[in-house]
Every structure is written in C-alpha cells, then in structure tokens.
Structure 1
Amino acid sequence: MTQAEKLRELLAQDRCHIMPCCFDALSAKLIEQEGYDLTFMSGFAASASRIGAPDLGLMSYGEVVDQARNITEAVSMPLIGDGDTGYGNAMNVRRTVTGFARAGCAAVMIEDQLAPKRCGHTPGKAVVGRDEAFDRIRAAVDAREELRAAGGDILILARTDARHEHGLGEAIARAGRFAELGADILFVEAPRTEAEMREVCSALPGPKMANIVEGGDTPDLPNAVLHDIGFSIAAYPLSLMAAAMQAMVTTLRGMRSDDRPGRMDFVELRRRIGFDAYYETSEHYDTSKRGGDPA
C-alpha cells in the first residue's frame, strides 16, 4: 500500500484525526512512536529548525523537499508536505507536486497566497486572484494524474487564505472550486469562530482540515467537537516546536546555576533515536557472534 493509499483509508474513517505536525525526522519519529496515524511537515516549524528563520518564503523548494525526504525515510506513517505556493507559476506547481511525491509524501499542500507567503496566523497575508489560484490547483491535479498514470501517487491538499482579506464567503467559494478541480482535501485557513468552522464544513464537500495554532485566530476546540463540526484532520503545527523550544530555553537557563530540570534519561533517549534497533539488526551481520557463517 502506498502512502497516498494509507492516507485515503484514514480519510475514509468517520473520525477527526489528531495530527501533530513535525519539523524534522526526529520529531516525526516521536509522533509515530506515540501512536499517531499521520503527520504534516509544518513550514513554520521546518523553517525555524532548518534555517533558524521565520516562515516567510525564505526556504527554497530544494530545501523543503530535502527536509520532507529526510522525514519520510525515518517513518512509515503518511506525511503531508507543505508545498506553499508551489514556488512559482503553474509549471513550478507541477514540479513541486512531482517532487514531493518522489520524496515519499502522501499529500502536498498548495495554497493561494501571494509569494512570498506568510504564516496563516500572522499579519500581512495577501492572496492571488481567483484565476491564478485555480490554475495552481489545476496544475497540481494534472501532475497528480500524470503520476498515477506512471505508477506514482499523491493527494492534493488545497488551501485558501482568502478569509483574511476577502471574508469567509470568498474563502468558501475558492475552496469549493478547488474541490471541483479535483483537490482531495480542503483547507480554509483561519476561520475565527466555531460558527465559521461549521459553515466551512457544511458548505464544502469531502475531507476538510482544521489548523489549530495555540493563540492563533481559530478556536482551539476539543477533538470530539471538531469531529462533530465535520473535520477529518486537526493539524497542530506548532505544539511540538513550542514545547521543544520551551524545554531547551528552560534547560539552558538552569545550567548556569547547575540546575538540571527533568528530562528524558539516556536509555530512553537512545532507544527512541534508534540505537537499540540498529544494534539488534547489525548483529545479524556479525559472523563471530552467530558462531560462524551458515553458508
């Protein structure tokens, strides 16, 4: 089963999947080890961890695809990659979708922001006109179909940020057209109330994703409520990065006074990174420990 097929099966379930978002291979491994079914490579978090810079379009296509490939090689669960605006015109969108598929992603997100894009819950966002937005999704869907014809596969997560500039009605209209063009998952960014979230889900077909940024514009509702509203995925893009940064800052400040706050012990740290599994597998190739070569 391909990663795209795994994701389709998850989306067919009558539930809202909690999706902690990763930013590198290690954070993705921890998500999988804790039993979650899927993850998303947060552009905000990946930009912060890889280049130490804000998510303002500074990471290149090549850097993002490389980060995604590192993650897919470390885990077996489906990864949704953040393809931003597609890194150019419709032809660039096609290349982006193909590149993310070859990197092992189950889905790629393409959005309608004006480049350089911004985090969906920060000021200064602007979106391209309808025609360009629709051309991006049309190009993404065309690339998906060419991949399928050649034996590959990927899903298209179509995102609109039109709520910020043009209101919820425009955002819903754009997302509806994305669905008509063939997008697999719809994402209306930053609805501001539970009523708006319900309007999004009642107006649009197919699987929908909610994006829950702690302290952001969208209400942080319980998973049962998100499922009742109609969401299939609840993404938490910054929860792990915020927790990791707070833990590192606390540790760094405490070290000045010889304070060692509670942290993961060395045995568990090695196990989660993969040392134990590595040594167990490597013994298969140690002839002296096996008592001679069976051949």
Structure 2
Amino acid sequence: MNLSSSSICHHHSLPSPPIKLITKSTPNNSINPILTNKTFACDNNNNISISRRTVRYNSIIAASYGGDRTENDAVLESSPAKKLRKLLESPGVHQGPACFNALSAKLVQRAGFQFCFTTGFGISAARLGLPDTGLISYGEMVDQGQLITQAVSIPVIGDADNGYGNAMNVKRTVKGYIKAGFAGIILEDQVSPKACGHTQGRKVLPREEAVMKIKAAVDARKESGSDIVIVSRTDSRQALSLEEALWRSRAFADAGADVIFIDALASKEEMKAFCEISPQVPKMANMLEGGGKTPILTPLELEEIGYKIVAYPLSLLGVSIRAMEDALQAIKGGRVPSPASMPSFEEVKDVLGFNAYYEEEKRYASKSSQPVWQTGSSNPFSIQRKGQDDTEQTGQSSTEPIVELLNPDTYSKYGGGDTQNPFSGIWSRKLRVKIIGRDGFEKLDVRIPAGFLDGITNIVPALGGVNIKALLDDASYEVGGKLLLDFTDTRGDRIQVFLE
C-alpha cells in the first residue's frame, strides 16, 4: 500500500515545504492513528489520500515505511527555523529583545535569551543614522541581517518591513532572508514608503493585495525548500480600525502565516480580542519601551492573554544612545566614563571573543607559522644558526636565539659612508628582537643588522609605528646589551628590542 505525500492538503500552520510522510505499518493494513480529525480516501490502486480539516499548530506528520534519513533532513532539523518552530511549540511566552548589529545580538545570546529580533527602526538608526521611514533598502537590511545571524547561534527573526515592493518583491525578499540565515521573517501590510508603527503617516494596502503578499511569501518558502517562520503584521489598527486589523489577521493566517501580529493595539482589551481569533496560530506582542501606543505588560500577563512571543524593540538601542551621550559629556568635560558605567577592557575582550580566539589559535600553532626566511631567497637577509662561540651581552636573556640575520655586503641607506654622522657606523651593530607569547612561550628570537630598519617590520608588524632610527641615534655609542624597547602588543605578546 502506497502513501502519497502529494495527496495531502496542507493547512496554513504546517510548514509549507514538502514533508516526507512517515507512517508505520500495522496489522490488517491499518494506519497508525497519528492524525486527528481526518478523512481517508482509497482509490482502485490502493493509494491513500488524507484530508486534514483541523490541525493544531504543533502537529507534524512524521515517519515512513522505511529509508534512511537524508542529510537534508538533518540540516532541516538543526536549522534556525527549526529551532524557532520548536520554541513556538513549547509552553509559555517567549521574550525576544531586538538587536541592531552583530554585537548587540551577541549580548542578547550571552544574556541567555533563546531568540532575538531585528527591527527596521534599530537598523535604520544604527546603520544609517536615519529614521524608520522607508529609507533603508532591502540590500542593506539583508547585509546587516547576515552579519547578525552569523554572530550568534540562537534563531533570529528579521524585520522585512513591507517586503520592499509588490508580491514579486516579497518572494525575492523571503528568499534573500532565508539565505542570510534568518529563522523567521516579519512582513507588514503598509504602503511604500512605510512608517514606524507607532508614528504618524501610516497607510495600508488594500485587503486583497496584502493577502496576496503573504501568499507570495509562503510560495517563496516552499520554492526554497525552507521552513522559515512567516510572521504577518498588520498596521491597520491605527490606519483603519480594530475590526479591520482582526479581519486581516485571520486572512493572513488562512493564507499561510505561521505567526500573526497586530501592531499598536491601544489597550489590554484589544490585545485580548486579538488573541481570541485564529486560536491555533501563535500571536506576537510588541512592547515598545518609552511610550508606545500599546500598554506594557509583564510576560505572565501576556501569557495569560494568549501571546506566544513578545518583542522588545527599543531597549538595547535606547540605552545605548543614553550611555553614549553620557560618555561623550564626560569626555567633553575632561573626564573618562566611570568604571561603574562601562565594562573593563578585559570584559570587552571577553564579550568580543578574544580569549576564545586565543585558545582556538593554539590548536593551529606550528613552527612554520613563524616568520623565517629561506637561504637563497630574494630577501636581502641570509640566515645562519647561532654559533657556539657567540656570547650574550650583559642584561640579555640566556635563551639561545633561533636564527641570526647577517649583514648584507653593502648598505648605505642611512649614511653608511658618512663618517661625520654618528649614525654612519650603526649598520655594523645588530638589533636583537625577542617575542614572548601571552602563554609564556618564546615565539621569536632573531638578530638583524641595525641598518636594515625596514626589515624589522617584516618580522614584527607591531614595530611599524616605532621610530627605530631615532632610538638608534640616541643609543649609537651605547655598549651592547642596551634594551631599546619593551612593550606588549595588542595580541598580548611581549616584544623586546636590544642593541648589540
């Protein structure tokens, strides 16, 4: 008996990509009753078709007569969209702060949140320094979104404004957001140019066009083989009426939206009325901090009303603006921000992943990664091992140098032939460069002819901003062993330069 997946009538709450049906054979050719409220039809070839009249949001058909799981199955299960769908199926209301760049997204993840949002408001502000009035483009939003999704492992729901055009533009937008790594996409029904949902000037599309754009998004998801979560948003509550907003939300759910969202609801009663429609479809709330039209409720209150996810769109951007303003005022007054108002440098490095980077870097360390020149190469330096009769000058480390770079036959760049210039004979002296890694191990120990100043930066780029010639001028008559430089670079390596 064959079971044809093409015969299934998909409901809007099911993922729209083709689903591999899994049913297990039972005695007397019966079907394992994993579906509820269903009808079966059998044709003359014993092919079964299944019609689903009512499906809960979290209902998923699984399992088959056999066959191994494919790589695509495994990828789909671990995808950001899959993680988000599991979250939507789990009990309770789930909070998602809005980020505006990769750093803010990392902070959301470090704080322990299970997902986050992006907002056109935040990205317009952070990337362009401009208001959320439709000025930011599709390309800029996708580019910023990709940087954000790559910085974290939690699912990210991306604000796609009004899809940046008509239904065909929406299809391109959905596919672009899928490629950028988003777990979900928010699409609204405003006309272009759009406006922020809690500001003046909002206008919405006609009903039919708005619904068609959601259908286009569902088709784009199916064509991409993705299960990205489609969040439909309507701004018709403030543009038209609550009744219109409720009608559109039902229509968007019927068109295939996975989550529905009415922006700028004006009271708790309106929020309750919204949560009563399309009971099988999750609802999204928007807690605009600082004075939006929607009342700010606690997560427990939102859960009791019937919401599943809640966005906090302005918290991170708002406190960032205030903190930067305070810091700038302090600097303008001749002070630096107080330690209580900012993290230490070590804490900043930890947030950005310096310590993790250093630990991972050790896995790939090798001798070949050190800057060593081959004999006979085009480089003006030649290489030889330190001889047994060489001795260290007073005050230097007893560690044997790894290599010694010998003098070239001639060099006059710094006036080698001018006996009146105290620098004229300095080329015959040598500079010893030592690098001790932040882990305490020696990474480099070389001698370089003092005249070859340009060659030093080839070995140690951190010396590129140091005026070695001036140091040599000052130390031209010093005895060997003088320490010219001793500092720690940005990677934590200790760099020492001796005159021999």
Aligned to 2:285: 210
Aligned to 2:261: 187
Deviation at 1:155, TM superposition (A): 1.2
Correspondence for 1:32 among 109, 119, 123:
109
Q: Which deviates more from structure 2 when the two are superposed, residues 260-269 or residues 17-26? A: 260-269
- C-alpha distance in 2, partners of 1:120/1:234? 16
Alignment of 1:251-290 (within 5 A): 251-259=327-335, 260-261=337-338, 262-288=341-367
Aligned to 1:165: 239
Q: TM-score, normalised by structure 2?
A: 0.57
User: 2:265 aligns to what SS in structure 1?
Assistant: coil
Deviation at 1:161, TM superposition (A): 0.3
Aligned to 1:250: 326
8 Å contact kept, 1:101–1:153: no
Q: For each residue in 1:93-148, what CA deviation from the matched residue of structure 2 results, as whole angstroms up to 9, or x when unmatched?
A: 00000000010000111110011111111111110100110111010011111122
Q: Which runs of 5+ in 1 are unaligned?
A: none
Aligned to 2:469: none
Alignment of 1:103-122 (within 5 A): 103-122=180-199
- C-alpha distance in 2, partners of 1:195/1:166? 18
- C-alpha distance in 2, partners of 1:17/1:222? 11
Q: For each residue in 1:21-66, what CA deviation from the matched residue of structure 2 results, as whole angstroms up to 9, or x when unmatched?
A: 0000000000000100000111100010001101111111111000
Aligned to 2:380: none
8 Å contact kept, 1:16–1:226: yes
User: 1:123 aligns to what SS in structure 2?
Assistant: coil
8 Å contact kept, 1:172–1:204: no
Q: For each residue in 1:241-269, what CA deviation from the matched residue of structure 2 results, as whole angstroms up to 9, or x when unmatched?
A: 00001000011011122332321111111
Aligned to 2:451: none
Correspondence for 1:71 among 135, 145, 148:
148
Counterpart AA for 2:211: F
User: 1:6 aligns to what SS in structure 2?
Assistant: helix
User: 1:109 aligns to what SS in structure 2?
Assistant: strand
Structure that is richer in helix per residue = 1
8 Å contact kept, 1:111–1:161: yes
Alignment of 1:53-68 (within 5 A): 53-68=130-145
Structure of higher RCO (CA pairs closer than 8 Å, 6+ residues apart): 1
TM-align CA RMSD = 1.4
- C-alpha distance in 1, partners of 2:85/2:95? 15
Q: For each residue in 1:123-182, what CA deviation from the matched residue of structure 2 results, as whole angstroms up to 9, or x when unmatched?
A: 11110100110111010011111122xxx3311110000001211110010010000011
Q: Which structure 1 residue ranges, 4+ long, deviate > 4 Å from structure 2?
A: 288-291
Q: For each residue in 1:260-292, what CA deviation from the matched residue of structure 2 results, as whole angstroms up to 9, or x when unmatched?
A: 23211111110001111111111111125999x
Counterpart AA for 2:111: E
User: 1:21 aligns to what SS in structure 2?
Assistant: strand
Aligned length: 288
Aligned to 1:95: 172
User: 1:122 aligns to what SS in structure 2?
Assistant: coil
Counterpart AA for 1:213: L
Aligned to 2:222: 145
Does residue 123 of structure 1 match 2:200? yes
User: 2:275 aligns to what SS in structure 1?
Assistant: helix
- C-alpha distance in 2, partners of 1:165/1:156? 22
Counterpart AA for 1:86: G
8 Å contact kept, 1:97–1:108: yes
Aligned to 2:445: none
Q: For each residue in 1:209-240, what CA deviation from the matched residue of structure 2 results, as whole angstroms up to 9, or x when unmatched?
A: 10111210000111100111111111001110
Aligned to 1:154: 228
Q: For each residue in 1:1-22, what CA deviation from the matched residue of structure 2 results, as whole angstroms up to 9, or x when unmatched?
A: 1111100000011211111100
- C-alpha distance in 2, partners of 1:93/1:256? 47
User: 2:198 aligns to what SS in structure 1?
Assistant: coil
Aligned to 2:83: 6
